[in-house]
Amino acid sequence: MNTQAGEADQSQITLARAYAAQQRIGEAEAAYRNVLRTAPDTPEALNFVAMCALSRRDFAPAQRDLERAAELNPGEPEIWKNFGIMYLAQKQGFSALHAFDRALDLQPAHFAARLLRGNALEQMGRIDEAAKAYFGAIAAAQSSGEWLDDRTTAPALRPAVRHAINVVDTHRARIFMALLEPLHEKHGAHALRRIVAGLEIYLDHRPAHYPPHQYCKFFYVPDLPNPLYYDRSLFPWYAEVEAHTDEIRAELLAVMRDPDGVEPFLGTNDNDVLAEQKLLNGTRGHAEWNSFFFHRHGKRYAKNANRCPRTMELLDKTSVEYIRDHAPEALFSILSPGAHILKHHGVTNARLVTHLPLIVPDDTAISVAGEDYHWQEGRFISFDDTYLHESWNDSTKVRANLMFDVWHPDLSAAEREAMALLVGGIGDFNKAAGVGAPPAS
């Protein structure tokens, strides 16, 4: 915390901080009160003695000292966080919420303020909002290596963190199951049993029991047939679209001649960054994995789509998945000579990745769970990308596919509807919690 000690005795401030760090609170309070005798406008000391008064439920001096500290140092988030704690202790949830919001405006990554903000919402009876606030606080802290266990959680925060985890565990499950209730009434519980089981896995309420080499980064639907590559007979639209490969390729070549709208698939083609992240490397110098998106995260790239009208028309004949704000993902995937997409897992086995190879030099292939497949121009493949997979272009020419996601063919219409509702709902929950959307790729 910043200090404005003025004539404050710096040795007393140092001593008070040392006592506080050792949890010798009484001695720390005495040292800070010594500071205030000679320098009554020292925000650090005012804040500390206010919290000591609050611990004794002596609200009047606590409020007085916090108000003076905030007047002297209004940009200190810890003071506003402590205001929130004081209001919580007095069951003034609305004032507490306002104070925590002030703290977070100043320091958005203040994990304790985010956690306590959830407490304020819970005190006000806004339990769904509280669960989202708690989830966001926990996710943010854990992403920074905190609150993973007692060892990584400050002793004073452990009860609050445990409580928040219990609230999230209980109410997140309730919120997500409620999304499925209309479909249970419409189709019956048996029709959605695999999706409900997948939700329980997502919530860590049951184990996944993955087959070898498989892992879902987001949502696993158990008991789906799980070959690596899928038989053509499952996709009756393959032949009709394949018959127009030349038209699709012509639109790809026009894009490659005028690459406006082409962008790195992984957000960057910085080879040092991608190698460090174990995503992409190259054997012929600089490697690039580029994309020309028609859809991503449920968003239609209108300008790109308008450049390739025949491709878009043919995509509409497939079983491409649609999920609000999340899917489909459809694009031209363009891999430079020597580029190697390193082994990785996909997000959910509810969808399959489908490739229509358009430019396929020799020495290019994909490998799913160690089983290699060499593309043939104009011939679709669909595979489960939740199996560990990689692909490479060891040639001296560009390799390019039309790539998009389709529903797993064994999912019923009811299950597809449930997945779309559930993934959209999880995304809404995460967005409200300030957590990233479920991964799309």
Chain-centroid distance of CA 18 in Å reads 39
Q: What's the confidence (pLDDT) of residue 3? A: 42
pLDDT digits (tens, 9 = 90+) for 13-45: 999 999 999 989 999 999 999 999 999 999 999
Q: What's the confidence (pLDDT) of residue 115? A: 96
Q: What's the confidence (pLDDT) of residue 9? A: 82
Q: What's the confidence (pLDDT) of residue 8? A: 73
Residue 287 forms beta bridges with which residues?
Answer: none
Question: Is there a contact between 195 and 223 (Cβ–Cβ < 8 Å)?
Answer: no
Please state, for a pLDDT cut of 70, what percent of the chain lies above it. 97
Q: What's the confidence (pLDDT) of residue 441? A: 59
162 falls in which pLDDT band (50, 70, 90)? very high
Q: What's the confidence (pLDDT) of residue 437? A: 65
Omega before 74 cis (within 30°)?
Answer: no
CA-to-CA distance for 129 and 433, rounded, in angstroms? 8
381 falls in which pLDDT band (50, 70, 90)? very high
Q: What's the confidence (pLDDT) of residue 304? A: 98
321 falls in which pLDDT band (50, 70, 90)? confident
Question: Is there a contact between 405 and 353 (Cβ–Cβ < 8 Å)?
Answer: yes
Q: Give the residue-averaged pLDDT of 332-356.
A: 97
Question: Is there a contact between 183 and 414 (Cβ–Cβ < 8 Å)?
Answer: yes
Q: What's the confidence (pLDDT) of residue 438? A: 66
440 falls in which pLDDT band (50, 70, 90)? low
Q: What's the confidence (pLDDT) of residue 325? A: 84
Instruction: Calculate the average pLDDT of the chain.
Output: 94
Relative to beta strand 330-335, strand 289-296 is antiparallel
Reply yes or no on whether the pLDDT at 439 is more than 80: no
322 falls in which pLDDT band (50, 70, 90)? confident
pLDDT digits (tens, 9 = 90+) for 285-295: 899 999 999 99
Show Cβ contacts of residue 301 under 8 Å, excluding neighbours closer than 6 positions: 261, 293, 294, 295
Please state, for a pLDDT cut of 90, what percent of the chain lies above it. 91
Reply yes or no on whether the pLDDT at 341 is more than 90: yes
Q: What's the confidence (pLDDT) of residue 320? A: 87
Reply yes or no on whether the pLDDT at 1 is more than 80: no
Reply yes or no on whether the pLDDT at 415 is more than 90: yes
SS3 content of the chain, % helix, strand, coil (to 5): 50, 15, 35
392 falls in which pLDDT band (50, 70, 90)? very high
pTM for this predicted structure = 0.87
Domains annotated for the chain, with CATH where assigned, are 232-410 (2.60.120.330)
Q: What's the confidence (pLDDT) of residue 293? A: 98
Reply yes or no on whether the pLDDT at 5 is more than 60: no
Span of 121-130, 191-200, 304-313, 428-437 with lowest mean pLDDT: 428-437
Show Cβ contacts of residue 135 under 8 Å, excluding neighbours closer than 6 positions: 168, 172, 429, 430, 433, 435
Span of 19-23, 74-78, 416-420 with lowest mean pLDDT: 19-23
Reply yes or no on whether the pLDDT at 299 is more than 70: yes
pLDDT digits (tens, 9 = 90+) for 194-239: 999 999 999 999 999 999 999 999 999 999 999 999 999 999 999 9
Q: What's the confidence (pLDDT) of residue 435? A: 87
